[in-house]
Amino acid sequence: MSTAREQISRARRMVVKVGSSSLTGADGHLDEARLGLIVDAVAAGRRAGREMVLVTSGSIAAGIGHLGLPARPRELALQQATAAVGQGILIASYTTAFARHGLDVGQVLLTADDMIRRTHYGNAQRALNRLLELGIVPIVNENDSVATDEIRFGDNDRLAALVATVVHADALVLLTDVDGLYTAAPGTPGAARISTVASEADIEGIDVSRR
């Protein structure tokens, strides 16, 4: 039986998820150097002949730094506003970093609702596949400017798993400080760790309605 590392090395279409903790410095603000390292790794995958999709967090962190806020806001409306400001900064940073490797990026903002409604799901699938066909690196994030606590992905691990299914990826790599993919937010009563995702059926039970 091949190891996970061997399976990843053979993957031709890969989804990579990076969390806010991998993109921010000690002050909690977006760290361009860390972002650059992530981009270098994704670009290396492209040079190796792989199709790469990047699922990223970080819009709120980028907004916090730009707006000079002392910490992540608690109020939902301010969180959404901070994300709206930060998302533009985040995608601009990715655009610049990938351009150094001669790569173009395409921004795709999704909500949990997009993954639940069949029509929205199909639209997302077609957009992502066309970007890959064009040789563009899709950069996917939750649309935090309209997401609410009642229906959102939260840490983007679940979003990444769903995106991997949408594009029929050969591999999903989670760069995160959480020890795996769960059926609900870790710490939620009844949340269970999913050891293997081989098909859409493996993530049907994922609860996207809570953080």
Tens digit of each residue's pLDDT (9 = 90 or more) over 128-153: 999 999 999 999 998 877 776 544 66
> Is CATH 3.30.70.790 the right assignment for the domain spanning 3-177?
no
Cα angle: 37, vertex 112, 157; to 5 degrees: 35
Alpha helices in 23-140 (DSSP H): 32-47, 59-67, 76-99, 112-116, 118-133
What does the DSSP 8-state code read for residue 5? H
Instruction: Parse the chain into domains and list their residue ranges.
Output: 3-177
The pTM (predicted TM-score) of the whole model is 0.81
pLDDT single digits (tens) 22-52: 999 988 899 999 999 999 999 999 999 999 9
